[in-house]
C-alpha cells in the first residue's frame, strides 16, 4: 500500500516518505525494547524518580503544563476503556468530566462538604449518568451511541449553563481548596502530585482490567459481537460496564479539576474538549495503555511548544495528524504493532485454503 | 427424555417461513446430523436453537427447560455451544485469548476481582488457562497458542473455533458446516475429532453438513429438511434410500415412460 502511494509522488516527497518510514521502524524497535520486562522496569523507575523530583526545580508554568498532562492521562485512560477496550465510539466524554466537576463544586459550595467525601458521590453520579445514557443505547450498534453521546455532551453543557444550581453561565466560583492530612493543597505542585497519583492509579487499574475476565470480554465484543454472544458473553451488560467505568474515570478527574481551578464554567466542557480527548486516544493508539499516555502527552505539550506561532499551530497540528494517519493509522504506539504480528506470521499462511 | 427436544418449531420472516413446524429430538450422548439442500433452513434452525433468531411458534426444550425466550449468552451458559458457518474468530486476538473467551460464562470475576486480584480471582484465572490449554491440546493447536488468530491457516482457524466452543464446557455442541473449506485429510481428522468429542468428553454433537461422505460416516441419526419442513429421519442407510430425500436432492423422475 505504501509503495503505491510513494510511486505517484515526486522525488522530494519520496525521500521524506523514506525518512518517515525509517522513523516508524526506529520507534517500533524502541517499543519492542520496552516490551522487555527488565528494560521496562528500569525505564519506569527512572521516569518516576524524575517525575517526583520535577516540582523541586521547575517553573510554575512548566508544572501547570505537566499537571494538565496528568489530568489528560486520566481522562484518556477512562475514554480508552470505552473506545479502546470495548470499541464503543463516545463523542461526549467531556460530559462526565462535567458531572464530576459540578458534583464536587456544588457539594463543597452549597453543602460545605469535605472534598474527599465528594469523590465517591461524584463517582456515583457518573455511574448514574452512564447508566442513563448507556442502558437504552448500548443495545444498538456503536454508531448510534456516537450520536447519543454527542447529544448528551451538549445537553449537559447547556443544562449547566441554564440551571440555577450550577451557577448558570458564570458557573461556580470560589470552590475552597481541600486539606490532605492537615496539608492545605493550594500550590500548583500539590496538584501536580495529586494528578500524578491519580494518573498512576488509572494506569494501574487499566492494566489490571486489560488482563482480566472483563478486559478479555471487552476485546472479544470489539472484535465480533455475535461470536462474543455465542461464547456466553452478555454483550449488553459487559459493554455497559465499560461505559460506566470509563465515565467514573472522567468524573474523578473532573472532581480534582474543580478544586484545582476553584472555579468551573460551562465553557470548560465544550464539544472540542470531548474531541481532544478522543483525538489523544486515537493518536496514541486505541487499546494500548502506553500509547494512550503518549497521546495525552502530545495533545497537551504540542500546543504549548508551538505557542509562539499563535493560530498557525493548529494548522501544523492538523498536518501532523494527516501525515500520521497515512503512515501510522493505528496510532503512535499501537496495540500489537505491525512488526510483531508479521513476525508471528506463519510460513504456512501462503497455502491458505478458502 | 431427549437432551434437546424441538417441538413444532416455526420461524417466520414476513411471508417467508424458513422453519416450518419442525419437530425432532436429540438423544444424549449421540452424534446426529441435519442435512438438506441449499436454502432448506438448516442454519435458520440452528440460529433458533442458539437464540440468535426468535422462533414465533413451537418450543425448544434443552434438558427439559424451554430456551425459546432466552438470549444467546444464556443458552451458552446452560450448556449449548455453537460454531459458525463462516468463521467468526476474534481475528486480532491470540489463539489463547480466543479460547479463553469460551470460559467467560464459567467464571465470575468482576471489577473488584480484576483490580485487587484476590486469591479466588487468581485461582479462577488459573483454571481458565488450564481449561483453555486442555481444549487447544484436544483439537491439536496448542503449539500455536500465542499466534494472532487471523494469521493462522484456514484449517487451524477452524480448529480454534471448535476449541473455543469446547471451552464453554457444553453438554451439546452444535457445529454449523464444520467441514466447509477443509481438504480431504482435514475432513478425516474432523471425523475422528467429532467421535473423540463424544467418546472422551461425553458431549453430544449435532451438526449441519453438506459433505455427505462425512455425514454418513459420523452420524448415528440424520434429519433431513427441505423448504423448512422435516421430510425424513433415520440412520444413514434409511435416509439414503428414502424417496422423498432423493427427490429433494435430485428432483422427481417425471419421464419414466420414455
Residue A47 makes CB contacts below 8 A (sequence gap 6+) with none
Secondary element (H or E) of residue A152:
helix A142-162
Do A96 and A215 have their domain in common?
yes
What's residue B93's pLDDT? 93
Q: CATH no. for residue A181?
A: 1.10.3470
Of the candidate ranges A176-190, A317-331, B152-166, B193-207, the one whose mean pLDDT is the lowest: A317-331
- Is A205 near chain B, with CB under 8 Å? yes
Whether B43 maps to a domain, the answer reads yes
pLDDT over 80 (residue A87): yes
Residue B36 contacts residue B30 (beta carbons within 8 Å): no
Do A28 and A90 have their domain in common?
no
Window 223-242 of B, Cβ < 8 Å to A = none
Residue A39 in grid coordinates: 528494560
Residue B132 contacts residue B96 (beta carbons within 8 Å): yes
Do A105 and A87 have their domain in common?
yes
What percent of chain B lies above the pLDDT cut of 90? 83
Secondary element (H or E) of residue A6:
helix A2-8
Do B27 and B54 have their domain in common?
yes
Do B253 and B174 have their domain in common?
yes
Do B29 and B146 have their domain in common?
no
What percent of chain A lies above the pLDDT cut of 90? 59
What's residue B192's pLDDT? 95
Q: Do A346 and B104 touch (CB under 8 A)?
A: no
Residue that the C-alpha cell 480534582 belongs to: A256
Query: Which of B139, B169, B199 finishes a domain?
Result: B169
Give the tens place of pLDDT for each residue, A278-310: 999 999 988 899 999 999 999 999 888 888 887
- Is B171 near chain A, with CB under 8 Å? no
Q: How far is B136 from chain A (nearest CA, A)?
A: 16
Q: What is the CA radius of gyration of chain A?
A: 22
- Is A343 near chain B, with CB under 8 Å? no
Do A255 and A141 have their domain in common?
yes
Whether A39 maps to a domain, the answer reads yes
Q: Do B73 and A232 touch (CB under 8 A)?
A: yes
Query: Which of B125, B152, B169 finishes a domain?
Result: B169
Cα dihedral sign for A279, A280, A282, A287? Answer: negative
Alpha helices in chain B (DSSP H): 42-49, 72-78, 95-101, 111-116, 119-139, 154-167, 184-201, 212-218, 236-241, 243-250
Residue A225 contacts residue B88 (beta carbons within 8 Å): no
Q: Distance (Å, rounded) from C-alpha B199 to C-alpha A106?
A: 66
* pLDDT tier, B256 (very low <50, low <70, confident <90, very high otherwise): low
What's residue B254's pLDDT? 64
Do A39 and A154 have their domain in common?
no
Round the average pLDDT of chain A to a whole number and report it.
Answer: 87
Give the tens place of pLDDT for each residue, A225-277: 999 999 999 999 999 999 999 999 999 999 999 999 999 999 989 999 999 99
Whether A7 maps to a domain, the answer reads no
- Is B42 near chain A, with CB under 8 Å? no
Nearest CA among A86, A216, A185 for reference residue B97: A216
Residue A274 in grid coordinates: 470531548
Which residues are bridge partners to B32 per DSSP?
Answer: B206, B221
- Is B160 near chain A, with CB under 8 Å? no
What's residue A199's pLDDT? 97
- Is A229 near chain B, with CB under 8 Å? yes
pLDDT over 90 (residue B1): no
More confident call, A43 vs A71: A71
Residue that the C-alpha cell 463462516 belongs to: B86
Mean per-residue pLDDT for B218-245?
A: 92
Do A31 and A173 have their domain in common?
no
Do A156 and A246 have their domain in common?
yes
Q: Do A224 and B101 touch (CB under 8 A)?
A: no
What's the DSSP call for residue A268? Answer: G
Q: Distance (Å, rounded) from C-alpha B12 to C-alpha A225?
A: 24
Q: Which of B52, B148, B181 sits opposite A354 (nearest CB)?
A: B181
Q: Distance (Å, rounded) from C-alpha A296 to C-alpha A294?
A: 5
Other Cβ atoms closer than 10 A to B235: 12
Q: Which of A204, A245, A345 sits opposite B111 (nearest CB)?
A: A245
Do B56 and B93 have their domain in common?
no
Q: Do A232 and B104 touch (CB under 8 A)?
A: yes
Do B188 and B131 have their domain in common?
no
Residue A116 makes CB contacts below 8 A (sequence gap 6+) with A178
Residue A8 in grid coordinates: 505517484
Other Cβ atoms closer than 10 A to B125: 20
pLDDT over 80 (residue A340): no
Indicate which of A200, A215, A231, A285 best probes the interface with B, i.e. most B CBs within 10 Å of its own CB: A231
Do A192 and A118 have their domain in common?
yes
Kindly provide the b/e burial profile for residues A24-63, where b requires at least 16 CB atoms within 10 angstroms of the residue's own CB.
beeebeebeeeeeeeeeeeeeeeeeeebeebbeebeeeeb
Q: How many domains does chain A have?
A: 2
Q: Which chain B residues are within 8 Å of A336, Cβ to Cβ?
A: 92, 148
Residue B72 contacts residue B50 (beta carbons within 8 Å): yes
Q: Distance (Å, rounded) from C-alpha A104 to C-alpha A123?
A: 10
What's residue A334's pLDDT? 81
Q: How far is B100 from chain A (nearest CA, A)?
A: 8
pLDDT over 50 (residue A151): yes
* pLDDT tier, A139 (very low <50, low <70, confident <90, very high otherwise): confident
Q: How far is A228 from chain B (nearest CA, A)?
A: 8
Q: Which chain B residues are within 8 Å of A214, Cβ to Cβ?
A: 109-111, 114
Nearest CA among A327, A51, A2, A56 for reference residue A200: A51
- Is B115 near chain A, with CB under 8 Å? yes
Round the average pLDDT of chain B to a whole number and report it.
Answer: 92
Do B191 and B243 have their domain in common?
yes
Return the residue of B nearest to A351 by Cα.
B153
Per-residue three-class SS string for A112-143: CCCHHHHHHHHHHHHHHHHHHHHHHHCCCCHH
Do B105 and B139 have their domain in common?
yes
What percent of chain B lies above the pLDDT cut of 70? 98
- Is B49 near chain A, with CB under 8 Å? no
Chain centre to alpha carbon of residue A228: 26
Return the residue of B nearest to A212 by Cα.
B114
Whether A146 maps to a domain, the answer reads yes
Nearest CA among A289, A145, A127 for reference residue A205: A289
Q: Distance (Å, rounded) from C-alpha B78 to C-alpha B98?
A: 20
Residue A264 contacts residue A171 (beta carbons within 8 Å): yes
Integer angstrom CA distances of residue B6 from A194, A230, B67, B109, B176: 61, 20, 10, 35, 18
Q: How far is B109 from chain A (nearest CA, A)?
A: 7
Q: Which of B108, B117, B153 sits opposite A349 (nearest CB)?
A: B153
Q: CATH no. for residue B32?
A: 3.40.50.300
What's residue B255's pLDDT? 57
Give the tens place of pLDDT for each residue, B218-230: 999 999 999 999 9
The pTM is what?
Answer: 0.88
- Compute the count of residue pairs across chains A and B with CB atoms less than 8 Å apart: 127
Instruction: Please enumerate, as own/partner, the contacts of A8-16 that have beta carbons within 8 Å and a separation of 24 or more.
Output: none
Q: SS3 for A334?
A: coil
What's the DSSP call for residue A83? Answer: I
What's residue A325's pLDDT? 84
Q: Distance (Å, rounded) from C-alpha A31 to C-alpha A47?
A: 16
Query: Which of B135, B150, B169 finishes a domain?
Result: B169
What's residue A127's pLDDT? 97
Whether A346 maps to a domain, the answer reads no
- Is A241 near chain B, with CB under 8 Å? yes
Residue that the C-alpha cell 416455526 belongs to: B10
pLDDT over 60 (residue A337): no
Do B102 and B128 have their domain in common?
yes
Q: Which of A213, A344, A353 sits opposite B148 (nearest CB)?
A: A344
Instruction: Quote the domain boundaries for residue B137.
Output: 89-169
Residue B52 contacts residue B41 (beta carbons within 8 Å): no
* pLDDT tier, B253 (very low <50, low <70, confident <90, very high otherwise): low
Q: Do B110 and A214 touch (CB under 8 A)?
A: yes
What's residue A351's pLDDT? 37
Whether B84 maps to a domain, the answer reads no
Cβ burial, residue B98 (10 Å; 0-12/13-18/19+): buried
Do A21 and A83 have their domain in common?
no
Give the end-to-end CA distance of chain B in Å, rounded to a whole number: 50
What's residue A345's pLDDT? 39
Whether A107 maps to a domain, the answer reads yes
Residue B32 contacts residue B3 (beta carbons within 8 Å): no
Do B219 and B135 have their domain in common?
no
Instruction: Quote the domain boundaries for residue A25.
Output: 13-57
Do A284 and A168 have their domain in common?
yes
- Is B123 near chain A, with CB under 8 Å? no
Whether B55 maps to a domain, the answer reads yes
- Is B124 near chain A, with CB under 8 Å? yes
Indicate which of B113, B114, B165 best probes the interface with A, i.e. most A CBs within 10 Å of its own CB: B114
More confident call, B171 vs A32: B171
Whether B112 maps to a domain, the answer reads yes
Do B191 and B246 have their domain in common?
yes
Other Cβ atoms closer than 10 A to A88: 26
Q: Which chain A residues are within 8 Å of B154, Cβ to Cβ?
A: 352-354
Give φ, ψ of A114 to 5 degrees: -70, 145
- Is A226 near chain B, with CB under 8 Å? yes
pLDDT over 90 (residue B233): yes
Give the end-to-end CA distance of chain A in Å, rounded to a whole number: 23
Cβ burial, residue A151 (10 Å; 0-12/13-18/19+): middle
Mean per-residue pLDDT for B96-124?
A: 93
Do B61 and B97 have their domain in common?
no
Q: Distance (Å, rounded) from C-alpha B1 to C-alpha B11?
A: 24
Residue B203 contacts residue B196 (beta carbons within 8 Å): no
Q: How many domains does chain B have?
A: 2
- Is A214 near chain B, with CB under 8 Å? yes
More confident call, A222 vs A23: A222
What's residue A31's pLDDT? 83
Do A51 and A190 have their domain in common?
no
Whether A169 maps to a domain, the answer reads yes
What percent of chain A lies above the pLDDT cut of 70? 91
Q: How far is A196 from chain B (nearest CA, A)?
A: 19
Q: How far is B36 from chain A (nearest CA, A)?
A: 23
Do A156 and A48 have their domain in common?
no
Cβ burial, residue B116 (10 Å; 0-12/13-18/19+): exposed
Return the residue of B nearest to A354 by Cα.
B181
Q: Do A232 and B168 touch (CB under 8 A)?
A: yes
Whether B4 maps to a domain, the answer reads yes
Amino acid at each position: 500500500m505504501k509503495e503505491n502511494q510513494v510511486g505517484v509522488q515526486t522525488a522530494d516527497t519520496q525521500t521524506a516518505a523514506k525518512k518517515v518510514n525509517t522513523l516508524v521502524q526506529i520507534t517500533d524497535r524502541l517499543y519492542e525494547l520496552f516490551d522487555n520486562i527488565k528494560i521496562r522496569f528500569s525505564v519506569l523507575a527512572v521516569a518516576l524518580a524524575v517525575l517526583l523530583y520535577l516540582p523541586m526545580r521547575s517553573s510554575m508554568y512548566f508544572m501547570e503544563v505537566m499537571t494538565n498532562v496528568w489530568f489528560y492521562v486520566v481522562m484518556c485512560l477512562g475514554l480508552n476503556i470505552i473506545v479502546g477496550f470495548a470499541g464503543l465510539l463516545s463523542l461526549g466524554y467531556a460530559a462526565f468530566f462535567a458531572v464530576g466537576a459540578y458534583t464536587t463544586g456544588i457539594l463543597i459550595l452549597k453543602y460545605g462538604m469535605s472534598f474527599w467525601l465528594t469523590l465517591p458521590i461524584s463517582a456515583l453520579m457518573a455511574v448514574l449518568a452512564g447508566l442513563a445514557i448507556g442502558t437504552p443505547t448500548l443495545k444498538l450498534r456503536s454508531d448510534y451511541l456516537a450520536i447519543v453521546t454527542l447529544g448528551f455532551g451538549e445537553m449537559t453543557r447547556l443544562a449547566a449553563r441554564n440551571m440555577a444550581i450550577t451557577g448558570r453561565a458564570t458557573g461556580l466560583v470560589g470552590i475552597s481548596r481541600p486539606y490532605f492530612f492537615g496539608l492545605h493543597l493550594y500550590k500548583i505542585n500539590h496538584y501536580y502530585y495529586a494528578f500524578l497519583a491519580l494518573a498512576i492509579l488509572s494506569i494501574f487499574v487499566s492494566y489490571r482490567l486489560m488482563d482480566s475476565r472483563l478486559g478479555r470480554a471487552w476485546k472479544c465484543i470489539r472484535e465480533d459481537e455475535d461470536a462474543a454472544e455465542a461464547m456466553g458473553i452478555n454483550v449488553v451488560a459487559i459493554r455497559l460496564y465499560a461505559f460506566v467505568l470509563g465515565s467514573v474515570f472522567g468524573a474523578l478527574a473532573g472532581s480534582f479539576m474543580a478544586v484545582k481551578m476553584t472555579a468551573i464554567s460551562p465553557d470548560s466542557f465544550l464539544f472540542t474538549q470531548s474531541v481532544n480527548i478522543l483525538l489523544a486516544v486515537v493518536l496514541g493508539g486505541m487499546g494500548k495503555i502506553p500509547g494512550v499516555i503518549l497521546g495525552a502527552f502530545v495533545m497537551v505539550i504540542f500546543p504549548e511548544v508551538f505557542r509562539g506561532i499563535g493560530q498557525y499551530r493548529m494548522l501544523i497540528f492538523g498536518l501532523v495528524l494527516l501525515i500520521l494517519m497515512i503512515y501510522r493509522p493505528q496510532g503512535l504506539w499501537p496495540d500489537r504493532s505491525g512488526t510483531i504480528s508479521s513476525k508471528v506470521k506463519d510460513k504456512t499462511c501462503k497455502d491458505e485454503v478458502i | 427424555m431427549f437432551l434437546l427436544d424441538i417441538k413444532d418449531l416455526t420461524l417466520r420472516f414476513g411471508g417467508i417461513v424458513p422453519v416450518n413446524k419442525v419437530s425432532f429430538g436429540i438423544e444424549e450422548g449421540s452424534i446426529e446430523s441435519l442435512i438438506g439442500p441449499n436454502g432448506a433452513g438448516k442454519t435458520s434452525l440452528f440460529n433458533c436453537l442458539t437464540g440468535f433468531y426468535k422462533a414465533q411458534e413451537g418450543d425448544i426444550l434443552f434438558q427439559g427447560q424451554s430456551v425459546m425466550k432466552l438470549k444467546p449468552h444464556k443458552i451458552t451458559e446452560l450448556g449449548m455451544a455453537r460454531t459458525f458457518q463462516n468463521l467468526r474468530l476474534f481475528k486480532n486476538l491470540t489463539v489463547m485469548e480466543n479460547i479463553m473467551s469460551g470460559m467467560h460464562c464459567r467464571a465470575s470475576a468482576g471489577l473488584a476481582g480484576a483490580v485487587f486480584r484476590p486469591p479466588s480471582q487468581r485461582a479462577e484465572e488459573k483454571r481458565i488457562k488450564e481449561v483453555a490449554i486442555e481444549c487447544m491440546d484436544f483439537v491439536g493447536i496448542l503449539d500455536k497458542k500465542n499466534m494472532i488468530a487471523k494469521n493462522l491457516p484456514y484449517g487451524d482457524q477452524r480448529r480454534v473455533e471448535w476449541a473455543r466452543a469446547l471451552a464453554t464446557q457444553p453438554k451439546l455442541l452444535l457445529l454449523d458446516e464444520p467441514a466447509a473449506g477443509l481438504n480431504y485429510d482435514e475432513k478425516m481428522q474432523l471425523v475422528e475429532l467429532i467421535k473423540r468429542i463424544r467418546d472422551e468428553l461425553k458431549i453430544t454433537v449435532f451438526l449441519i453438513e453438506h459433505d455427505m461422505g462425512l455425514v454418513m460416516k459420523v452420524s448415528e441419526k440424520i434429519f433431513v429438511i427441505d423448504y423448512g419442513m422435516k421430510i425424513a429421519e433415520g440412520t444413514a442407510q434409511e435416509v439414503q434410500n428414502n424417496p422423498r430425500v432423493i427427490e429433494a436432492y435430485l428432483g422427481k423422475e417425471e419421464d419414466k415412460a420414455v
